[in-house]
A and B are shown apart, each in its own frame.
Chain A
Amino acid sequence: MRVIFFLFILTFYLAAPAQNKQLLYNFDDLPQNLLINPGAETYFDMHIGIPFLSQIHLSAGSSGVSMYDIFKDDQGSINARIKESLHKLSRNDFFMVNQQLEIFSIGWRDNKRRYYTAGVYQEMDAFVYFPKDPAVLAYEGNKDYIGRNFNFSDAAFTADFLNVFHVGFTNYYSEDLNYGFRGKIYSGIFNAYSVGNRGIFRTELSPEGPNLYRHYMSGLDMVINTSGWANVVDSKASNKEVMTSLLESALLGGNIGVGLDAGFTWYPSDQYRITGSLLDIGFMRQTKNVENYRYYGDYQTHGIELLFPGTQEYWDEWEDDLDRNLKDETLTNSYTTWRPVKLNASVDYGFHENAEPCNCYRPMGRRRYYNHLGAQFFAVKRPRGLNYATTLYYDRTFNENFRGKVTYTADSYSFSNIGLLVSAKLSNFNVYLAADNLLDYTNFAKAQNASLQIGFQLMFSRE
């Protein structure tokens, strides 16, 4: 019960974000654009990320409730607000945290104008659906819900902590078309996966039965798969051993997976640009340090029947019967997890031509523009389907060294997400800062999501 309580409270603390990087997408002055579209154009010939600082990305969100909804400082009671939120949220509401840290990144252009990239980044991604029925059962109990099903399939979550090693290239196919691919090797440090749970708990009146109620647990099958966790909680291991094993996992010594990113940029005409990308088409095999916790079975009871005088071991018999029918197991079966595939697509329109002389090593024999107006669509595959976001943006190049972008995004969290990106160069040194949900910036408690990217790198041109 305590654990449920803790998880319940935790879900209100964890905001859940999106992996949508609408500010960086199509921003061809930054190499990070290539990570979200390997077929993107780039306006530089080489880049080197400052290790650990070239991209720090944080994003968190909650689709149905904000911290303010629960903790607002008014005359009301927090318990009433929790109860209200509990009933407002649905099983499809979710909480999510995503964090990425570029450890190392490098890129260069060859003589055929192709751009190659390589790098390593660390990623943490946690996604929890609101476990509506279990939460109602824990918070209110079954007394006022006689005859109603509590469905345990509402409980579903995934959590991943991994390193990604990647190499990619962007090919200049023609003046109008670029495409690119990135191969990825995932090196898993920790994974938890609990999707596809099922089972129903129900209490109903039993007018024909021997007692007043009948309690059912039907078709219960709850599984939590973990990999890497057993390592961390191994009580016999010293801190040093734990660190060593974590480091091994981070450097391809643990669970491995492979993935692919693909993308393109197409110019149907001078001023129009269409781009698209699919990211993290990949999977991981979880085979090392795996533990699966399973609780399953069917059971129904009317309570305890006294037989006068009977055995007086009624309780033990009842408990044995329960244990025979509802079983728990800890197994070590390998499992496969699919990475959350992401889709980006956009169309944009450039205007106010930039007449600065072009660099002919690069694939842009076309006119360039100071301003871009565009629309972008984003989707990410989650256990119960796709989550979407749509963004309108205005991208403005002030001069060779300073550029900014403003976005308006509508998604599962809100319809009022304004974001801002600024990127500046000082000689070869570049710094960028991107943040969204600026309208909620004066009070984060009211924000249902927010994301932030910041980075420093060196970028070179051959001119």
Chain B
Amino acid sequence: MKMPLINYLSKIVFLSLVLVSYSCVKDVDLDQYNEIVLSPEAAIDLIYFDLTADEFTGENGSGVTASDETRLDFLDDDYIQNSLVRADFNFRFTNTFQSPLTATIRLVSPSNSVQHTIEVPIPSGSLGEPATIDYTEIIDENQINRVRRSIKMSVEIIRHDPTAIEGSLQLASKGFYYFEFQS
């Protein structure tokens, strides 16, 4: 009676060994983990304004000027610094001044040095027929360091005819941010 029992036990052990040795993880390549890239694309509002004639407080050779700037602290965050690969900035101007304008948007570093300049000429419009300009600046992989080095966005508007005080200039803007997070 004892022999069959030992036989049974040894069969169980054998069976377990067979199971364990045949069981494995096949046809998979776990090293692919290193190739995993998360590439989210974020669409986020940027700045906006509605600028009237009385806010043009400066002057230069080519007209009257209005300027302002804002810090964009998120540009300094790790996910921008390490993983932003491309940024598309889209600006939509609506001009009802009866004067051509020039908008200059600058990305500025913490030490106030200009990293990137976007200049958009805006044609003359009127209250009845606003001039609209839809301008997109694509900052690709080659230039993306300019965004990473920046912390502020400044805007300067020149109204070339100082006498055209009727109307306003509106800006709406957004950014598409393309990330690549790697493991």
Which of A's residues lie within 8 Å of B, judged by CB? Answer: 1-2, 5, 8-9, 67-68, 71-73, 77-79, 82, 137-144, 146, 203, 210-215, 301-310, 312, 314-316, 319, 401-402, 422, 424-426, 431, 433, 435, 438, 441-445
Contacts and interface: CB of A to CB of B under 8 A. Distances in A.
Interface stretch (B66-74, B118-126, B137-145): B66-74
B12 A210 contact: no
Contacts of A141: 40-43, 177, 179
A213 to B, nearest CB: 5
Contacts of A438: 19
A305 B8 contact: no
Contacts of B26: 442-443, 445
B155 A79 contact: no
Contacts of A140: 39-41
Contacts of B55: 308-309
A189 B133 CA distance: 63
Q: Is the interface of A mostly helix, strand, loop or mixed?
A: mixed
Given A2-B181, A306-B47, A312-B70, A73 B172 contact: no
A140 B177 CA distance: 11
A430 B25 CA distance: 31
Interface of B: 5-6, 8-9, 12, 15-16, 19, 22-30, 32-33, 35-51, 55, 57, 66-73, 79, 83, 90, 92, 155, 172-174, 176-177, 179, 181, 183
B68 A67 contact: no
A424 B5 CA distance: 8
Given A9-B33, A306-B155, 10 more contacts: A9-B183, A78-B36, A143-B41, A210-B172, A303-B48, A309-B68, A425-B5, A426-B9, A441-B23, A443-B25
A138 B46 CA distance: 20
A451 B92 CA distance: 59
Q: Which of A68, A307, A308 has the most CB of B within 10 A?
A: A308
Contacts of B39: 79, 139-140
Contacts of A212: 45, 90, 92, 172-174
13 contacts: A1-B79, A71-B30, A78-B36, A79-B36, A142-B43, A143-B43, A211-B174, A212-B45, A302-B48, A303-B44, A303-B45, A402-B5, A445-B26
Pairs A-B, 8 closest by C-beta atoms: A303-B45, A141-B40, A143-B41, A308-B55, A314-B70, A315-B71, A71-B28, A143-B43
